[in-house]
Structure 1
């Protein structure tokens, strides 16, 4: 039982059925498409990788923006909390002593001064952007502009 010279002349005594399978190592099929399937899979994988990288940068940028807005909101809340504490302390002093020279206008003025000073400090602290965050932001902007 042979096929094109491949296989045993007889299956008898060989402990096999004599069935002959197609050789997967034949080069005829590979020569016909010249690895087009491989190149196609490789191009598809590269395209998917680029899309995944783009999505990753966009997700990082979105997460970064959310974290920045959360930090900003928390900082502004902390400023207002300190102003509120000052107002409470000054009002308690005004109520405790009747001969106090504090008036509601003075309290408002001191609270506004504290608020302005704290906001100025906050703007000074947040003026610098780390280099890696600047890089991610510029990279995301170039991707979004495409």
Structure 2
């Protein structure tokens, strides 16, 4: 198919060259007449191109108007709804963050209270009990051995006591 198009374009080019050569050899009156005819034909083509451009611009303006109307009627309400939902989500997120902050503060206070009021006395009582047990063990060894001399920890480990 491209072969036939190439042949057709070649034939038209040869005819155009032949026509231009014939007009160059023709008398002045014939050339002036063809010049006037070509000016009229070119004016008609220009008029046709202007009409086509106007039609394309009108179509483009119509399309832009419909697109703007579509955006105003469909997209903007959906965008507003999405914005309202997003604001609700942000508000609930702020509420959750405040609740988490309050919970952390409460846990910190509870931890401090437990450390001061419960753990410290338990540690003191455990220390006192350990001290009493150590004293009782020491007194029991003293009475058992019959001497007032208490073996040193090194003597206990080596078995010299």
TM > 0.5: no
Relative contact order: is structure 1 or structure 2 higher (C-alpha 8 Å, sep ≥ 6)?
1
- Using structure 1 for the length normalisation, give the TM-score: 0.44
Larger CA Rg, structure 1 vs 2: 2
Name whichever structure is richer in helix by fraction: 2
- Using structure 2 for the length normalisation, give the TM-score: 0.40
